[in-house]
A and B are shown apart, each in its own frame.
Chain A
């Protein structure tokens, strides 16, 4: 039977307009609303749906980061994950935590937990790296279906439809495998209050990277984080004719 490991990241909520710190070291995160990375909600939803179809036996939600990450693990548990693992990484170590580290942690956990399917979101909306699934696949030598919009499982084979630049493509792969969820894979459910209450009783195991033997030393040095250039304020034009005149003036048409 299949055991699915799902990576969930706590990020600044997608609707928040972020602010860059005045000392250019990063963005302001204190007192800012955080939630589960939207792509990870889709990953959890998919794993839970597979469990509901009896294709998966157990769903394990994992998050790496500071203590508040437990909130996103609880959310995953309320959505239907069976148990959680929190790999605590805090402070400066967390600031330079990269997919290279997270993928090693998830790969190790997949082995320890005897998982044979790993699902993560295709990218986190904070660092926008889009690397973790691919790197886990590399570390474990498992096939990786990135940017999945459809996942079908038959015995130990997966058929995935991927969102690629020109359209869609279909890949068949052997389990164990790693998948990354694209937006159109599914519509994540809302956790209901009874399920949120039930999730409080589900276990969350706490670990550190050290427990797993993973070195999280920095691979990058962040030199600065700055505001992007601000666009010049534009003008509202009264009608289509003026718009065309303006576009002609600036040589666009």
Chain B
């Protein structure tokens, strides 16, 4: 009984504060060397919410990243947590740090980019705070009202969050990246603690190396599907991509068939891209693939099947054998 009264009183009090201003914690994503570009998109979402923005940089090496994000316009504070416990950025280690930080500062919003990192981390934090998180938002209507897609991008849901703390992951392609300039936030050490996880241990990473631009932020993306017929044939797309300074993507069919690694998958369950130009080669255009690319400014489809659904979303369609059309395109560009 007493506990209930106490809780009601506290919630009421907190709400009074909330009504006056928002304060947002953005969890920076990085690789201990540089800031992941999606953090800049996330910061722009944080700006839309309004109020103070604090960025938390946690990792085994944070200096360079903290310095660069402190220059972002609109950031008021950077909290730095450098600790060996954060090796591999395990949610089991980061969650207690975020909870301690939240406890200290009472943020109204906690945001990350909707990447593998953000998706793995935020719901764990939300569970600890007993909050219903909101995934992969594409718009912000108010501090408590968000827009997101459901059903593989085939419906757009606007929802109002009833929880006190809003825990939100942000779709990078839906928000402009803010430049890392014009700001001069203070860097401060975050709360120290014993964050080493006894539950999980990072062993290793096997990252695909590429000189091409990163898929989710590339201006042009060239993607191949089942029609490529083999991994070797992807060379055709790499040549075209190099000519255009484009990133290379793939449909699920191409990944499942082993033509390319899984991190190239574009779609509902892979990466969401929205480049200026998306060239789909030998991709039929299943619902799940369209979910990952249909916000591209211009879509080009090269497919020999005139009935392929991809032509219904393509601005320019070329009904042709890709093994002839792609080399010709590469040569003539």
Contacts and interface: CB of A to CB of B under 8 A. Distances in A.
Nearest to B294: A231
Contacts of A168: 205-207, 262-263
A33 B163 CA distance: 33
Interface string A12-23: 101101101000
B149 A138 contact: no
B120 A183 contact: no
Interface residues of A, number: 82
B304 to A, nearest CB: 13
A89 B306 CA distance: 45
Interface stretch (B41-49, B62-70, B183-191, B325-333): B325-333
B150 A126 contact: yes
A219 B161 contact: yes
Interface string A229-249: 001111111011101101100
Interface stretch (A58-66, A95-103, A193-201): A95-103
Interface stretch (A1-9, A45-53, A76-84, A144-152): A144-152
Interface string A197-208: 000000000000
A131 B151 contact: no
Of residues A14, A165, A169, which shows the largest number of chain B Cβ atoms within 10 Å of its Cβ? Answer: A165
Contacts of B218: none
A234 B317 contact: yes
A109 interface: no
A169 B205 contact: yes
Contacts of B154: 17-18, 228
Interface stretch (B6-14, B74-82, B89-97): B89-97
B104 to A, nearest CB: 20
A91 interface: no
A119 to B, nearest CB: 16
Of residues B91, B121, B262, B314, which shows the largest number of chain A Cβ atoms within 10 Å of its Cβ? Answer: B262
Contacts of B320: 239-240
Contacts of B269: 39, 122-123, 182-183
A137 B207 contact: no
Contacts of B255: 184
Contact of B160 (A98, A138, A220): A220
Contact of B90 (A100, A171, A244): A171
B318 interface: yes
Given A134-B124, A240-B325, A247 B155 contact: no
A174 B199 contact: yes
Given A137-B127, A174-B198, A218-B162, A183 B256 contact: yes
B119 A224 contact: no
A128 B124 contact: no
Interface in B222-271: 244, 252, 255-256, 261-263, 268-269, 271
A244 B325 CA distance: 11
Overall SS of chain A's interface: mixed
Contacts of B123: 99, 130-132, 134-135, 138
B133 to A, nearest CB: 6
Interface string A162-184: 11111111111110010000111
Nearest to B134: A220
A17 B287 contact: yes
B3 interface: no
Of residues B135, B155, B201, which shows the largest number of chain A Cβ atoms within 10 Å of its Cβ? Answer: B155
14 contacts: A27-B155, A99-B132, A130-B119, A143-B197, A143-B199, A146-B120, A165-B263, A166-B208, A167-B207, A174-B200, A218-B162, A219-B161, A227-B156, A244-B333
Interface of A: 12, 14-15, 17-18, 20, 27, 39, 98-100, 103, 122-123, 125-132, 134-139, 141-147, 149, 159, 162-174, 177, 182-184, 218-228, 231-237, 239-241, 243-244, 246-247, 250, 252-253
Given A136-B127, A145-B200, 11 more contacts: A128-B149, A128-B152, A135-B124, A171-B200, A171-B201, A220-B134, A226-B156, A239-B320, A240-B332, A252-B276, A253-B277
Interface of B: 88, 90-92, 95, 115-117, 119-128, 130-136, 145, 148-163, 197-208, 216, 220, 244, 252, 255-256, 261-263, 268-269, 271, 276-277, 287-288, 294, 298-300, 306, 311-320, 325, 328-329, 332-333
